[in-house]
Homo-oligomer: A and B are copies of this chain.
Amino acid sequence: MPPAAAEPLTPERILATTEEVLRRFGPTKATVVDVARALGVSHGSVYRHFPSKAALREAVTDRWLARSVVMLEEITSAPTGSAPSKLESWLEALFEAKRHKAGDDPELFATYTVLLAENSGVVDAHLTELIDQLGRIISEGVAAGSLAAADVPAAARAVFDATGRFHDPQYAADWLSPTIITEFEAVTALVIRGLRA
């Protein structure tokens, strides 16, 4: 029996291995059989947890996106800090996370760009969650009198759209530019100034 099969086959183990397989074979070539082989189990065992290749790809995309949300949620729900400074930290953390994902592991990033295009429902839910976090920070600022917004969800959406160059994977190539940090700071300052009460 291969050593990998000694541990129980959890959805989390399957997803971690799927990520490895995607990194190794690329999104077009990776199959459920490759994932099963890497785990030392039959492909039937994988299908018991994920009923189709599409379901497995969707779950791995969801897991990848969820990782950055945890850290952003911490900033959003922190009990201290003014709303403008939370907003700045949140935008910085998002940009930082994206740049690291794109820069440290470009192959996996390219893989996920393919998966994102496939799973637009998962992506839409992710974007909604991020914009909702922004809305909570803005609401807090409106309540405290540091920010002004007549329509909080619209303002949250506008902040997200205005900073797209620094989180939309379409712009990943620009993130290597030597001036990108300066440009990010200028847009962030402009947007936060636009929301101040």
Shortest C-beta distance, A132 to chain B (Å), equals 16
**Does A143 belong to the interface (CB within 8 Å)?**
no
In this assembly, does A155 line the interface, its C-beta being within 8 Å of a C-beta of chain B?
yes
Q: How far is the CB of A91 from chain B (nearest CB, A)?
A: 12
Residue A154 lies at the interface, judged by CB distance under 8 Å to chain B: yes
Which of chain B's residues has its CB closest to A150's CB?
Answer: B189
A191 within 8 Å of B (CB atoms):
yes
Interface segment, one of A12-20, A107-115, A158-166: A158-166
A183 to B153, CA, bound (A): 11
Query: Which interface class (under 10, 10 to 19, 20 to 34, 35 or more) fits A?
Result: 20 to 34
Q: Is the CB of B161 within 8 A of A165?
A: yes
Q: Is the CB of A194 within 8 A of B183?
A: no
Residue A43, interface by CB 8 Å: no
Judge whether A187 and B170 touch: CB under 8 Å.
no
Name the contact of A154 in the complex, choosing from B161, B165, B182 (C-beta under 8 A). Answer: B182
Contact B170 A190, beta carbon cutoff 8 Å: no
Give chain B residues whose Cβ lies under 8 Å from the Cβ of A193: 193-195
Chain B residue at minimal CB-CB distance from A194: B194
- Whether A154 and B186, one on each chain, are in contact in the complex, defined by CB atoms closer than 8 angstroms, is yes
Residues of B within 8 A of A98 (CB): none
CA distance A193 to B159 in the complex (A): 13
State A155–B188 Cα separation when bound (angstroms).
11
Query: Which residues of B lie under 8 Å from residue A163 when comparing CB positions?
Result: 162
List the B side residues contacting A154 at CB < 8 Å: 182, 186
